[in-house]
Structure 1
């Protein structure tokens, strides 16, 4: 790991994900979590203040130890059992059908192998379990999409693998989940990085 990835990138990611507009989005989706919960890509724990007493246990994974070290939350005071594991979405070290709910926020943009990640999400969810998601991605306007596509290769290199132009709803449904609730809007800020999708998805039952 080079100097940029170890010392600069974690600070930049934490700053970008902790803007007031992003906090408002977290406040919309995180309180819907309940029961046994898995959070994928917890980062520095920015979602933690928004979980409610409906959560019994929270297992959190992230491949970046450097980001997790930046947490300012006292996990001993959380109103539920908490466990952090260094792991990636493509290899979740938990048993099949372990969770009532999987939470993922501002993380789908960076996962290299989405097919494998969604396979793991479906594996660890209980029957009738839910995926709660809040992500930025492909904008609706052709002009913004064109700009996203042009700058995405450079953005991805400096942003820890972050992609600006992923079609979040399509990716979720292409990988075996059905979206039961979806909302979208631009957040304040730079348009190529500020179009948000958030909602609820469930495993398809054939």
Structure 2
């Protein structure tokens, strides 16, 4: 992903994260690539979840380099250990392709988000064109093995709406320097419906 990050993906993530405010939860934070991209103003608390122990350890290390230190919680996106209506912002960047149950993860994001909160997302998604979608379907099984559980053909934007969100803004684009099957990109903001 380094080539994609250097070719503009990091800038897209930074731009998206300028909308983070209040109590912020990032699901599936991985090793913390977003950590230095969060704005210094407007965030009261920053909480990261990551279920994979090796990634969570690296995330812990990176988190301790920031002040104030964000909280790192080892939990899957499908089973968040937080109260209902407890976050102002939920962030998902390149994680909804790998969660075991995307619908459950999105329901959990909706559950912990306040009624006036915002879901900020940047995800590679199912292609809009029929040929691209067929290519993703063909490559889905081998890509899951190559891409560490990544589902290249998930229709993530409709799933966000189905989970009780209204799309406030969605921008379609491409992941630069990525294989064709994971190139279609959706970046946006959704609010509770």
Shared fold, TM over 0.5:
yes
Matches within 5 A, 1:8-157: 18-52=5-39, 53-71=41-59, 74-157=62-145
Q: Provide the C-alpha distance between the structure 2 equivalents of 1:76 and 1:163, rounded to a whole number of angstroms.
A: 31
In the other structure, the counterpart of 2:152 is 164
Contact 1:115 1:175 in 2 (8 A): yes
SS of 1:32's equivalent in the other structure is coil
Structure 1 residue 71, shift from structure 2 partner: 4.5
Q: Provide the C-alpha distance between the structure 2 equivalents of 1:148 and 1:177, rounded to a whole number of angstroms.
A: 26
In the other structure, the counterpart of 2:189 is 200
Q: Unpaired segments of 5 or more residues in structure 1? A: 1-13
Structure 1 residue 76, shift from structure 2 partner: 3.5
Q: 1:116 to 1:71 in 2, by over 3 A?
A: closer
Structure 1 residue 128, shift from structure 2 partner: 0.8
Q: Provide the C-alpha distance between the structure 1 equivalents of 2:94 and 2:141, rounded to a whole number of angstroms.
A: 18
Contact 2:127 2:153 in 1 (8 A): yes
Q: Provide the C-alpha distance between the structure 2 equivalents of 1:17 and 1:42, rounded to a whole number of angstroms.
A: 18
Q: How many pairs does the alignment contain?
A: 191
TM-score with structure 1 setting the length: 0.85
Contact 1:55 1:80 in 2 (8 A): no
TM-score with structure 2 setting the length: 0.90
Q: Provide the C-alpha distance between the structure 2 equivalents of 1:105 and 1:66, rounded to a whole number of angstroms.
A: 19
Q: Unpaired segments of 5 or more residues in structure 2? A: none
Q: 1:71 to 1:95 in 2, by over 3 A?
A: closer
SS of 2:133's equivalent in the other structure is helix
Structure 1 residue 79, shift from structure 2 partner: 4.0
Contact 2:25 2:47 in 1 (8 A): yes
Contact 2:32 2:62 in 1 (8 A): no
